[in-house]
Amino acid sequence: MIISTVEKTEYPKLLHIWEASVRASHDFLKEEDLQELKPLILEQYFDAVELRCAKTSQGEILGFCGVHDGSIEMLFIAPAARGKGVGALLAAYAIKAQGATKVDVNEQNEQAKGFYLHIGFSVIGRSALDGQGKPYPLLHMALQ
């Protein structure tokens, strides 16, 4: 696996991975919330972060991570690649090469919470609403 920068031409593939990953891990989201987020992610959120992706030696994107201002803002893995070290590789890169020390995780996403706890993050706070003001509580986590 290699970590590489993301080209705008790869955004549709990232959006596909995002949607598949969210459907596999965010069962608390309503369909209308997911559909509302898709254009925002494609048209705004990808450009607001420093994106990196994990690719196979054949160039297939297995997952991606976006960092902004020391925070992991997005980390999504293709469902077929989950549990194979892709997320750990991307998180390690975000921490070491991009200076990430914080992350917000949906409280209902037990898998993500467990992942970040496993790699050294701790819960330091909680918000009742997500970044869009929706009733999906966030856990604020940081490296200790």
Taking residues 107-133, what's their average pLDDT? 91
Cβ neighbourhood burial of 117 (10 Å; 0-12, 13-18, 19+): middle
Q: Across residues 11-18, what is the average pLDDT?
A: 94
**How large is the average pLDDT for residues 92-100?**
96
Question: What is the spatial distance between Cα 48 and Cα 44, in angstroms, rounded to a whole number?
Answer: 6
Q: How far is CA 59 from the centre of its chain?
A: 20
Q: List the one residue out of 98, 133, 92 whose CA is nearest residue 115.
A: 92
Q: Tens digit of pLDDT for each residue in 66-86?
A: 999 999 999 999 988 988 999
pLDDT of residue 133: 84
Rounded CA-CA distance 135/48 in Å is 23
Average pLDDT over residues 100-122: 93
Q: What is the mean pLDDT of the chain?
A: 91
Q: From CA 66, how far away is CA 10, in angstroms rounded?
A: 14
Task: Determine the Cα–Cα distance for residues 104 and 78; give it in Å rounded to an integer.
Answer: 20
- pLDDT for 28 beyond 80: no
Query: Ranked by mean pLDDT, which of 81-85, 120-124, 129-133 comes out on top?
Result: 120-124
Q: Is the predicted pLDDT of residue 26 greater than 70, yes or no?
A: no
- What does 20-86 look like in DSSP terms, one character per residue? HHHHHH-TTS-HHHHHHHHHHIIIIIGGGSEEEEEE-TT--EEEEEEEETTEEEEEEE-GGGTTTTH
pLDDT of residue 131: 81
